[in-house]
């Protein structure tokens, strides 16, 4: 209800939220080529797996099958674009959530991590912005074409990453820590790595950075606060991963080392 609104049986009207209105506008033909960014600020003050559960489940579906149900509302009280009590979550919508992690917030469940790309922002970093005169109107169709072109251009590099995570050395390493790799991760990795490489300038180094980021944020996050792992166990894991990663990509896994070093220091 907080996201999508509710039907007021006294007024006989549906009370829309800004979230609802944004999704509805994105469905209109007039805005079909417009990118919509819906920001969930401090999204972990409550549990996303509860209030955002239906949307997380929709990410299992193909883009043409993503519909959210508007429950307990007569059809005559709903706008005309809602057919059969369902509103489409269109392709041109992106959800972005911000989250602080402290004693006042809640940790994300694996379901949320598995359907997201995570970016951790360092603390107390001062960045100076540069003003630009030009303005850019980025269309959804243009962005989609760029993504598809990147996947074709960097298919070899994506295959190299896939080969690494399917290698016997990597599988043996993560199996001992009960870390699994699902089909969803492999599909998302292709999109992330290809776009990351298309945005950079050093193909070899960028592949190592993208691979390090994905493995650390999506797979190794399950090693955080694990009480069944002692200091020596984690150190052996860190050293083994660094060795096979550097052999494959020619660069140390800085993200993974930083995370694992912190976990080791806490033991």
d(CA 230, CA 201): 40
Q: What is the residue whose two structure tokens read 């399950």? A: 222
CA dist 238 to 1, 89, 233, 245, Å?
Answer: 45, 41, 9, 10
Q: What is the pLDDT of residue 173?
A: 94
The structural domains of the chain, with segments of one domain joined by +, span: 6-113, 142-265
Percent of the chain with pLDDT over 70: 98
Give the pLDDT confidence score for residue 76 in this predicted structure: 84
Tokens describing residue 122? 């360092």
| Confidence band of 124 (pLDDT split at 50, 70, 90) | low
| Burial letters 223-247, b for 16+ CB under 10 A, else e | beeeeeeeeeebeebbeebbebbee
Would you state the pLDDT for residue 37?
94
CB 79 within 8 A of CB 88: no
* pLDDT above 70 (res 256): yes
At residue 229, the pLDDT reads 87
Residue in the block written with tokens 């993974």: 256
**Phi and psi dihedrals of 68, rounded to 5?**
-105, 135
* pLDDT, tens digit (0-9, with 9 covering 90-100), for 196-226: 999 987 888 999 999 999 999 999 988 888 8
Cα 38 to chain centroid distance, Å, stands at 14
Task: Report pLDDT for 189.
Answer: 92
> What are 132-149's pLDDT values in tens digits?
777 778 899 999 999 999
| SS3 (DSSP) at 129 | coil
Question: What does the pLDDT read at residue 246?
Answer: 96
- Residue 104: its pLDDT value, please? 67
Give pLDDT tens digits for 60-77. 788 888 999 888 888 888
* Cα–Cα distance measured from residue 89 to residue 19, given in angstroms and rounded to the nearest whole number: 12
Confidence of residue 109 (pLDDT cuts 50, 70, 90): confident
Q: Are 144 and 189 in contact (CB under 8 A)?
A: no
Report pLDDT for 214: 94
Please report how many Cα atoms fall inside a 13 Å half-sphere around the Cα of residue 234, on the Cβ side.
23
Given a cut of 80, whether residue 129 has pLDDT beyond it is no
Residue 31: pLDDT above 90? yes
Nearest to 175, CA basis, from 240, 110, 115: 240
- The C-alpha angle 205, 251, 118, rounded to 5 degrees, equals 70
If phi > 0 it is left, if psi is from -120 to 50 it is alpha, else beta; for residue 204 that is alpha
What pLDDT, on a 0 to 100 scale, did the predictor assign at position 125? 65
Confidence of residue 267 (pLDDT cuts 50, 70, 90): confident
Q: What distance in Å separates the CA atoms of residue 121 and residue 240, rounded to the nearest whole number?
A: 27
- pLDDT mean over 228-234: 90
């Amino acid at each position: 209800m907080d996201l999508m609104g509710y039907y007021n049986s006294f007024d006989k009207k549906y009370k829309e939220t800004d979230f609802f209105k944004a999704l509805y506008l994105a469905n209109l033909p007039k805005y079909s080529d417009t990118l919509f960014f819906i920001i969930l600020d401090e999204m972990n003050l409550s549990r996303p797996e509860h209030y955002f559960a239906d949307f997380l489940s929709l990410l299992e579906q193909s883009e043409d099958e993503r519909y959210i149900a508007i429950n307990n509302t007569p059809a005559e009280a709903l706008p005309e674009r809602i057919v059969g009590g369902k509103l489409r979550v269109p392709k041109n919508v992106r959800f972005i959530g911000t989250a602080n992690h402290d004693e006042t917030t809640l940790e994300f469940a694996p379901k949320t991590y598995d359907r997201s790309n995570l970016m951790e922002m360092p603390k107390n970093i001062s960045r100076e912005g540069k003003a630009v005169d030009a303005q850019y109107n980025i269309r959804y169709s243009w962005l989609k074409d760029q993504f598809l072109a990147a996947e074709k251009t960097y298919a070899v590099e994506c295959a190299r990453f896939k080969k690494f995570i399917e290698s016997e050395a990597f599988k043996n390493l993560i199996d001992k820590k009960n870390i699994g790799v699902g089909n969803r991760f492999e599909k998302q990795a292709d999109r992330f790595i290809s776009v990351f490489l298309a945005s950079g300038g050093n193909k070899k180094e960028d592949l190592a950075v993208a691979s390090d980021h994905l493995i650390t944020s999506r797979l190794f996050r399950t090693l955080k606060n694990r009480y069944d792992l002692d200091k020596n166990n984690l150190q052996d894991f860190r050293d083994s991963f660094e060795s096979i990663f550097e052999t494959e990509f020619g660069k140390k896994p800085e993200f993974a080392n930083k995370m694992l070093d912190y976990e080791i220091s806490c033991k």
